[in-house]
């Protein structure tokens, strides 16, 4: 009976024990932490049976397991304890443990793992540069933001480096931000550079906790710093080509591809050549045997830089000898007076003649010898030169200059002299009859409708002249139907109202704005645009279109004011260049480089491929007189049409 009671008690215990379950759990509110942070977890223990053992907590990341807590506890069945555990995620403790991790806890026979969380060492970084395009020697403002992957702001450092230049600055990161400035070296090469920012945090022991980087682009401009002229040699014989190159170097000493205006001045300072030069193409200045001897100068100017280089054209005494019947014609083809004793050979007889011939002049030496055919040769001391054979008559072998032949009674030379003098007299009177003056423009009279004066038909008057920088508009009317003349006239009226002086040169209408016109370049562009607009409107509605071209240039003109009128003549290549632009354009406006530079912000233009001129795509009308000019020309044009209808 007693055995039966014990069996019943045992069965009751076995049935009740499973209902009294033990508890071991791990919890944490942190799903993302950065290296250097503190990981906080809560461990709850409630054993089902009395247990005395160590509570062990470990950080488990992949195959890596790091025990960070161990403590002995003796607990009764059903007793509950809660352990708040903390782990500093310092590399000295966790090593290189990164990525997805858990906290594992063991107590007695039980073992549990907490929820997954991520350990990161990443810093999100933003970098901004102001400005992003700088000249060498200028400062760049560096600004940036930095946050850890868990969203916390960074307290640390930012190392900013310009790759390729070798400059690096260290900035402090405070409350997740950094800023400062860096000066680009004055000799930094032009081009694009990568600017990188490396942001990091360090522990007390000096090890890197978290890090991140970002980059941005910086453009360093090319600034011409020096200019030089490379010349093949310093001295040239007349007739040789003078070849030289203009080299422009930037801040880093590298060659800059720029077009440079150059001029060559002769010994008296006059300009003999003007053109654009680029470093990859040598400029060739051909000389002749008569080119003036002395020291010549090459000048180059661009963007405030200038260079000068001198070379010498050597003196050359030279002449050519031509046998003409019974005389020898000597022409001075050198660049200095020909003063030399020359040996003339008539057959076997040699005669010496002292010659003095100015530069560019000729002299004739008569030959005389007893009747017969003789070989003729000359010798200037450099070897005998055979001129040919001629038939001579005379009493004895001798030489005579032209004047001596006349005084000696040579009938042939007297006749030739008379004929030449008569011809010269006829040419003189013919020249006076048909003579035309130089290219001079006269301002048209102030009337309601435009009238233009043909260039080249005005008499020269005595007056003072001056060289002035003027703005010039050239309009070439390649095809002008009668119906289109009103549109041309209206455009020219607008030019007149804007202060322009208008002239005709064949198919060209030349409009000159002198320096007295305020903002002459802008006014010239506006007038060119008005003329082109009038013609475009006309062409849009006409069966016979006006074919035209417009060029705008700024250059020097010789201005002559007398009797209240303005005359002008071209200086250098001002008029040829602006005319060439008008010829090159096709129902559009071309402007020169100088005009484009002064009109930045007013016009939009694209460079014409392979040419030093720009095609205008649009013009911003901001002239303060624009409304007045338009109203004036509209009234004038309307009045002209009304008068014509009457």
Predicted confidence band of residue 621 (pLDDT cuts 50, 70, 90): low
How does pLDDT run across 449-467, given as a tens digit for each residue? 344 433 333 333 444 567 7
Best-predicted range by mean pLDDT among 29-38, 450-459, 627-636? 29-38
Stretch 536-565: mean pLDDT? 84
- Note the pLDDT of residue 426: 75
Q: Residue 208: phi, psi to the nearest 5?
A: -75, 125
- Note the pLDDT of residue 474: 94
Q: What percent of the chain has pLDDT over 90?
A: 40
Q: Residue 488: phi, psi to the nearest 5?
A: -65, -45
Higher pLDDT pick, 531 / 636: 531
- Note the pLDDT of residue 597: 84
46 CB-near residues (< 8 Å, 6+ apart): 22, 23, 24, 75, 78, 79, 80, 81
Stretch 18-32: mean pLDDT? 77
Lowest mean pLDDT among 22-36, 275-289, 339-353, 394-408: 394-408
- Note the pLDDT of residue 82: 94
- Note the pLDDT of residue 167: 92
- Note the pLDDT of residue 367: 87
Stretch 8-36: mean pLDDT? 68
Q: How far apart are CA 495 and CA 597, in angstroms?
A: 22
Which residue in this structure is represented by tokens 């600017």? 195
Nearest-5° Cα angle at 307, 306 to 313: 145
**What one-character DSSP code corresponds to residue 48?**
S
- Note the pLDDT of residue 402: 56
Q: How far apart are CA 287 and CA 243, in angstroms?
A: 11
- Note the pLDDT of residue 420: 74
Lowest mean pLDDT among 467-471, 485-489, 566-570: 566-570
- Note the pLDDT of residue 95: 87
SS3 track for 425-450: HHHHHHHHHHCCCCCCCCCCCCCCCC
- Note the pLDDT of residue 53: 92
Domains of the chain: 19-120 (2.60.40.10), 123-220 (2.60.40.1930), 224-313 (2.60.40.1930), 319-430 (2.60.40), 465-645 (3.30.70.1230)
Asked whether residue 430 carries a pLDDT value surpassing 80, the answer given is: no
Stretch 184-202: mean pLDDT? 93
- Note the pLDDT of residue 625: 46
String of b and e for 554-580 (b: at least 16 CB within 10 Å)?
Answer: bbebbbbeeeebebbbbbeebbebbbb
Asked whether residue 495 carries a pLDDT value surpassing 50, the answer given is: yes
- Note the pLDDT of residue 431: 55
- Note the pLDDT of residue 66: 93
Stretch 179-191: mean pLDDT? 92
92 CB-near residues (< 8 Å, 6+ apart): 203, 205, 207
Structure tokens belonging to residue 172 = 């402090």
Asked whether residue 43 carries a pLDDT value surpassing 60, the answer given is: yes
Higher pLDDT pick, 540 / 133: 133
Higher pLDDT pick, 76 / 464: 76
- Note the pLDDT of residue 645: 44
- Note the pLDDT of residue 15: 44
Asked whether residue 412 carries a pLDDT value surpassing 50, the answer given is: no
Characterize the bridge pairing of strands 167-173 and 362-368. unpaired
Stretch 69-74: mean pLDDT? 92
- Note the pLDDT of residue 267: 93
Alpha helix ranges (H) inside 354-410? 402-407
Structure tokens belonging to residue 505 = 């040169």
Stretch 216-233: mean pLDDT? 90
Nearest to 553 by CA among 579, 571, 518: 579
Q: What percent of the chain has pLDDT over 70?
A: 83
Asked whether residue 504 carries a pLDDT value surpassing 90, the answer given is: no
- Note the pLDDT of residue 493: 86
Asked whether residue 542 carries a pLDDT value surpassing 60, the answer given is: yes
How does pLDDT run across 338-384, given as a tens digit for each residue? 898 899 898 888 888 888 999 989 999 888 888 888 899 999 888 88
Nearest to 372 by CA among 349, 352, 344: 349
- Note the pLDDT of residue 550: 95
Packing angle, helices 626-645 and 485-497, rounded to 10: 140
Order of strands across the sheet with 283-286?
Answer: 224-231, 241-250, 283-286
How does pLDDT run across 380-398, given as a tens digit for each residue? 888 888 988 888 887 767 7
- With DSSP H G I counted as helix, E B as strand and the rest as coil, what are the percentages for the chain, rounded to 5? 20, 50, 30
Stretch 606-627: mean pLDDT? 76
Mean pLDDT of the chain: 82
């Amino acid at each position: 009976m007693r055995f039966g009671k014990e069996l019943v008690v045992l069965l009751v215990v076995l049935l009740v024990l499973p209902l009294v379950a033990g508890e071991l759990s791990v919890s944490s509110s942190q799903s993302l932490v950065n290296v250097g942070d503190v990981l906080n977890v809560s461990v709850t223990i409630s054993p089902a049976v009395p247990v005395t053992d160590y509570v062990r907590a470990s950080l488990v990341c992949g195959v890596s397991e790091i025990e960070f807590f161990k403590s002995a506890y003796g607990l009764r069945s059903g007793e509950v304890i809660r352990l708040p555990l903390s782990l500093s995620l310092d590399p000295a403790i966790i090593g290189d443990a990164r990525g997805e991790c858990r906290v594992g806890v063991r107590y007695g026979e039980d073992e549990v793992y907490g929820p997954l969380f991520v350990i990161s060492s990443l810093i999100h970084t933003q970098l901004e540069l102001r400005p992003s395009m700088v000249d060498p020697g200028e400062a760049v403002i560096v600004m940036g933001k930095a946050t850890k992957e868990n969203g916390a702001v960074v307290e640390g450092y930012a190392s900013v480096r310009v790759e390729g230049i070798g400059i690096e600055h260290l900035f402090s990161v405070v409350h997740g931000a950094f800023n400062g400035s860096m000066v680009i070296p004055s000799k930094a090469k032009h081009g694009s550079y990568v600017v990188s920012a490396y942001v990091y945090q360090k522990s007390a022991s000096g090890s890197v906790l978290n890090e991140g980087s970002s980059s941005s682009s910086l453009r360093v401009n090319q600034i011409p710093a020096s200019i030089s002229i490379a010349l093949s040699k310093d001295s040239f014989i007349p007739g040789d080509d003078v070849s030289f190159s203009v080299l422009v170097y930037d801040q880093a000493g590298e060659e800059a591809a720029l077009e440079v205006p150059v001029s060559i001045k002769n010994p008296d300072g006059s300009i003999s050549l003007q053109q654009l030069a680029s470093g990859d193409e040598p400029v060739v200045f051909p000389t002749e045997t008569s080119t003036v001897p002395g020291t010549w100068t090459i000048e180059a100017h661009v963007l405030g830089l200038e260079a000068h280089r001198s070379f010498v054209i050597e003196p050359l005494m030279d002449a050519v000898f031509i046998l003409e019947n019974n005389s020898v014609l000597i022409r001075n083809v050198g660049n200095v007076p020909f003063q030399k004793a020359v040996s003339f050979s008539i057959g076997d007889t040699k005669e010496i003649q002292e010659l003095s011939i100015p530069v560019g002049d000729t002299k004739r030496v008569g030959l005389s010898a007893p009747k017969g055919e003789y070989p003729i040769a000359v010798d200037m001391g450099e070897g005998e030169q055979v001129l040919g054979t001629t038939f001579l008559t005379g009493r004895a072998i001798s030489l005579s200059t032209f004047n001596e032949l006349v005084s000696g009674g040579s009938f042939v030379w007297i006749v030739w002299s008379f004929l030449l003098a008569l011809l010269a007299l006829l040419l003189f009177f013919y020249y006076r009859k048909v003579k035309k003056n130089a290219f001079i423009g006269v301002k048209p009279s102030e009337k309601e409708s435009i009238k233009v004066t043909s260039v080249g038909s005005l008499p020269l008057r005595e007056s003072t002249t001056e060289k002035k920088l003027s703005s010039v508009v050239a309009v070439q009317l390649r095809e002008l139907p009668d119906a289109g003349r009103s549109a041309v006239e209206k455009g020219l009226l607008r030019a007149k109202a804007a202060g322009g002086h208008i002239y005709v040169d064949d198919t060209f209408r030349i409009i000159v704005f002198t320096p007295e016109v305020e903002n002459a370049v802008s006014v010239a562009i506006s007038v060119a645009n008005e003329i082109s607009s009038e013609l475009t409107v006309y062409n849009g509605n006409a069966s016979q279109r006006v074919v035209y071209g417009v060029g705008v240039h700024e250059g020097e003109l010789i201005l002559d004011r007398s009797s209240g009128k303005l005359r002008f003549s071209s200086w250098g290549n001002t008029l040829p260049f602006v005319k060439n632009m008008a010829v090159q354009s096709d129902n559009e406006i071309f402007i020169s480089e100088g005009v484009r530079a002064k009109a930045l912000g007013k016009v939009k233009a694209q460079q014409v491929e392979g040419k030093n001129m720009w095609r205008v795509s649009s013009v911003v009308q901001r002239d303060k007189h624009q409304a007045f000019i338009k109203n004036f020309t509209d009234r004038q044009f309307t009045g002209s049409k009304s008068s014509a209808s009457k």
